[in-house]
Structure formats: structure tokens, C-alpha cells
């Protein structure tokens, strides 16, 4: 349980990300170092524009760091792969495919070699049911709401049963009730599959409820990891019970204190 392969399943080493802009190079991230255990749930929290999506894209392998390196399961991350599925901040569905077909495409990519078409369809249908979209599954993306599109993105990522689930504000566009239901489902799935997750969120309660650790980022440019908070609340966690739990409140206060007292408001012009 304490082998390096387990404790340092995902390694982010001295990562820097610089973007070329019209005004010259823009350093988005600087000196990012983080080791994530296998099966751990880590949240990234920080003000808008600090570089959370930039860091998630690096873990996904969608972009390469300007300096440093990222390693997953002992191998350097050199590009995107189905073992690291992403739920994007702006749901990214193919507009010419139905919601079902969008999910099926991901399922096919991972499981087509070993399973029949019927099995692939069953996997897809199960994922649609999980996010409550069975009745709307054959609609086209333009025929469903923003929150429903986001749920299709979540279904697609979960159906691929990735080793690492990367979530960029996955529940941001959802109403409070749907968000709570999906957070509870996600906690159950993570417990059952033991997969590793990195989630970007703006929501302090969501971060405390779901995370083993909360990584708090400083404001950009040249954003860094400010503090890391280990959330040692026992699992399974129950949102109703936790509302009156003093430890839960203390974790919440620590994150709010970092965001609004230590980091204050970022200059909007910089975002
Ligand atoms: N391709 C790019 N070219 C130039 N600058 C970029 C690029 N991508 C991101 N940035 C800049 O890097 C910084 C971090 O952006 P990023 O999207 O990672 O922020 P974020 O923390 O995800 O914000 P939000 O919470 O609003 O989604 C911002 O200042 C942004 O303008
Ligand atoms: Mg973002």
C-alpha cells in the first residue's frame, strides 16, 4: 500500500506553463509540484483565471508543459489517452451525434476490442441512466439544456471507466438538486472503482464533501500551489450529517479563509 507506484501514482514535477500572447510570454503556472496517490480524490480550487484548467489540461495530456514533467503510473504523460478521461468545463459534445452516440463513441474507443455491439450499447445505456438521461438520450445536443449536455459529458467520462478521472467544474452548470445527486453518485462510483480523480471546482462545500485533499492555488499570473488541505473525514460521507459536523465546518472555514482573506480578489484585468 505504500509503494512509490501507489503513493506517487500521478506526479507533477516542477511544472511551468507559459503561453505565447500578443503582449509576449504569459506565465500561467510556475513551480507546480504535487504527488497524488492511487485512488485519491483531489480538488483544485482557486480564483477565476488562476490556472486550474491549464493544470488539468496538462494532466490530461492535451497540452505539454513549458518546463517540468508529469508522470502517471510510472510513465511520462505525452498525450491524451482513454485511461485519463476528462469532463470539460464547457461540455464538448459532437453536435452531429445524439447524446447516446456521443457517449457510445467513448465506450467504443475503450471496449470495442473485447465486447459485442450489444454490450457496448448496454454500457452506454447504463451510463445514461446513471446521470438521469434515459428519456432524453436520443436527442441531439442542441435539443437539450446546458445542464443536460454537462451530464452527457459526465456519462461519457464515467462510461470509459478511466484510471484517472479529470473533472473541470463538472457540476457548475447544474441546479442544486441535480448537483447534489450527481455528487453523491460520483462518491459511490469512486468508492466502488477506486479510480483516482482530480476535480476543478469553485464550490467550497463540494470540495470538502468529495476530496481527500484540497489543493488551493494562488492568483495568477505565475500561479502556484498555495496550501494543501487534507480532508480527514471518514467515508462514506453523508451531506446531511456533515452539515452539523464541526470538523467539516473547520475545513470549510480553512478554504474560505485562503480564498477570500489570504488571496483576496484577483485583479479582474489579469484574468
Ligand atoms: N491558450 C492560452 N493562451 C494564452 N493565455 C492562456 C491560454 N490558456 C489560458 N491562458 C491564461 O492562463 C490563465 C489561466 O487560465 P485557466 O483557464 O487555466 O484559468 P482557470 O483557473 O481555469 O479559470 P476559470 O476558473 O475562470 O475557469 C488565464 O490568465 C488565461 O487567460
Ligand atoms: Mg477553468
Atom of ligand 1 nearest to the CA of 47: 25
pLDDT for res 271: 43
Ligand 1, residue 55: give the atom nearest the CA: 18
pTM: 0.93
CA 58 to ligand 1 centroid distance, Å: 12
Question: Per-residue pLDDT averaged across 184-199, rounded?
Answer: 91
Tell whether the model's pLDDT for residue 252 goes beyond 90: yes
Site of grid cell 469512486: 190
More confident call, 178 vs 224: 224
What pLDDT digit, counting tens, does each position of 28-55 carry? 999 999 999 999 999 999 999 999 999 9
Neighbours of 196 (CB within 10 A): 24
**Is residue 237 scored above 60 in pLDDT?**
yes
Q: Is the pLDDT of residue 3 over 70?
A: no
Which residues form ligand 1's pocket by a CB distance below 6 Å? 19, 21, 26, 28, 46, 48-54, 89, 220, 271
Query: Which has more pLDDT, 1 or 91?
Result: 91
- Give mean pLDDT, residues 109-114: 95
Report the separation in Å between the CA atom of 216 and the middle of ligand 1, taken as the mean of its atom positions: 16
Query: Which pLDDT belongs to residue 193?
Result: 84
Q: Are 102 and 144 in contact (CB under 8 A)?
A: no
With cut-offs at 50, 70 and 90, classify the pLDDT of residue 89.
confident
Interval between CA 11 and ligand 1 midpoint (Å): 22
Task: Summarize the confidence of residues 102-125 as an average pLDDT.
Answer: 97
Three-state SS across 70-138? EEECCEECCCCCCCEEEECCCCCCCCCCCHHHHHHHHHHHHHCCCCCHHHHHHHHHHHHHHCCCHHHCC
Q: What average pLDDT does the structure give for the chain?
A: 93
Residue 93 has pLDDT above 80, yes or no: yes
154-169 per-position pLDDT tens digit: 999 999 999 999 999 9
Task: Kindly write down the DSSP assignment for every residue of 35-56, as one continuous string.
Answer: EE-TT-EEEEE--TTSSHHHHH
* 170, 154 contact by CB (below 8 A): yes
Amino acid at each position: 500500500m505504500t509503494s512509490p507506484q501507489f503513493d506517487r501514482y500521478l506526479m507533477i514535477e516542477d511544472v511551468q506553463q507559459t503561453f505565447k500572447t500578443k503582449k509576449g510570454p504569459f506565465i500561467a503556472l510556475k513551480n507546480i509540484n504535487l504527488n497524488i496517490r492511487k485512488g485519491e480524490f483531489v480538488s483544485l480550487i482557486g480564483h477565476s483565471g488562476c490556472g486550474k484548467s491549464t493544470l488539468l489540461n496538462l494532466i490530461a495530456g492535451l497540452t505539454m508543459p513549458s518546463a517540468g514533467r508529469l508522470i502517471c503510473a510510472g510513465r511520462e504523460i505525452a498525450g491524451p489517452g482513454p485511461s485519463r478521461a476528462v469532463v470539460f468545463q464547457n461540455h464538448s459534445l459532437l453536435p452531429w451525434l445524439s447524446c447516446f452516440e456521443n457517449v457510445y463513441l467513448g465506450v467504443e474507443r475503450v471496449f470495442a476490442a473485447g465486447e459485442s455491439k450489444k454490450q457496448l450499447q448496454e454500457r452506454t445505456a447504463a451510463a445514461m441512466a446513471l446521470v438521469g438521461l434515459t428519456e432524453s438520450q436520443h436527442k441531439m445536443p442542441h435539443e437539450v439544456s446546458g445542464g443536460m449536455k454537462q451530464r452527457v459529458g459526465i456519462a461519457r467520462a464515467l462510461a470509459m471507466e478511466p484510471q484517472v478521472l479529470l473533472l473541470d467544474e463538472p457540476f457548475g452548470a447544474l441546479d442544486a438538486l441535480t448537483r447534489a445527486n450527481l455528487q453523491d453518485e460520483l462518491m459511490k462510483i469512486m468508492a466502488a472503482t477506486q479510480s483516482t480523480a482530480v476535480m476543478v471546482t469553485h464550490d467550497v462545500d463540494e470540495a470538502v464533501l468529495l476530496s481527500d485533499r484540497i489543493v488551493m492555488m494562488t492568483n495568477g499570473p505565475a500561479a502556484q500551489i498555495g496550501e494543501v488541505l487534507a480532508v480527514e473525514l471518514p467515508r462514506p460521507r453523508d451531506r446531511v450529517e456533515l452539515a452539523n459536523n464541526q470538523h467539516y465546518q473547520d475545513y470549510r472555514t480553512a478554504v474560505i479563509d485562503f480564498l477570500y482573506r489570504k488571496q483576496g480578489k484577483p485583479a479582474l484585468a489579469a484574468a
